[in-house]
Amino acid sequence: MEMRRASREIRAAPRTSRRGSRYSRTGGAFEPATEKPALADDAVDVTAGLRQSLESTRQGIQRFVDSLHSSGMANAVPGYRQLRTVLVQQRLWAESQGRTELVPHFRAIAEVAAAARAILAPYTDVMATLENLDRFAALPGESAAAPETGNPSFLPPDLQEAGQTAVMAALLTHGPSSLQRLARLTGTPDSDLARRLEHLAGAGAVQRKGRGRSASYWLSDAFIQSVLGRRG
């Protein structure tokens, strides 16, 4: 019961992934005021919206942390560590004594422990990345994004062709977008844009749902993970 309540707390925060906050498909509160290309003139509006989103996210994660404390999870850690020591000792004793009839009992504990870890481990993986957000910086060999273009500085060399970086910059700033919207944001003809998006999708940098002009595009999870991996 307490874990379910704790999980609900973090879901209260606006998502900063491809499905939430200013990254929702249909836009909303963080839509730019105009439909001009996403260049430096848009930076003030985007920054203001992002600041609000970041604070809401911080509050949501804080509520999650508070719920973990109130559920007693933090205080229970020493007890679980002691339990681990005892169980390992018991397993070694059973092994040394050839008590095979106890194996099913150890296996049952292993199964429920695996189920608990399957729930908890993804949270620790996510938080391990988030706790370093304030230390992200350009890698050696990367240059800062040019203010006049907003081109992302973290793209690998094979994706740094000017037209592709403009598309990636638009997706980074505005989240999931249709072909029509990306054409307006980047000032790129549909035919050229479709070709660039196809290349980016083939390279695994962009994901797509749907077909034609109604299709939605966003930065892929694999691409985000590759950026994080280069900073790991």
| pLDDT reported for residue 121 | 94
| pLDDT reported for residue 172 | 81
Which architecture, in CATH terms, is 157-230?
Orthogonal Bundle (1.10)
Q: Note down pLDDT in tens along the chain; length 232 residues.
A: 444 554 454 444 444 444 433 333 333 333 333 344 444 445 567 778 788 888 999 999 999 999 999 999 989 999 999 999 999 999 999 999 999 999 999 999 999 999 999 999 999 988 988 888 877 654 444 444 444 444 455 566 666 676 788 888 888 878 889 988 898 888 888 888 888 988 888 888 899 888 877 789 998 888 887 776 655 5
| pLDDT reported for residue 31 | 34
The residue assigned the tokens 């508070």 is 66
Q: Which helix (H) or strand (E) element contains residue 218?
A: strand 216-219
| pLDDT reported for residue 162 | 63
pTM of the entire structure? Answer: 0.57
Q: Hey, where are the domains in the chain? A: 1-71, 76-135, 157-230
> Cα–Cα distance between 54 and 123 in angstroms, integer?
19
Alpha helices in 12-139 (DSSP H): 43-70, 73-96, 103-130
> What are φ and ψ of residue 38, in 5° steps?
-80, 75
Which positions ≥6 away from 128 have C-beta within 8 Å? none
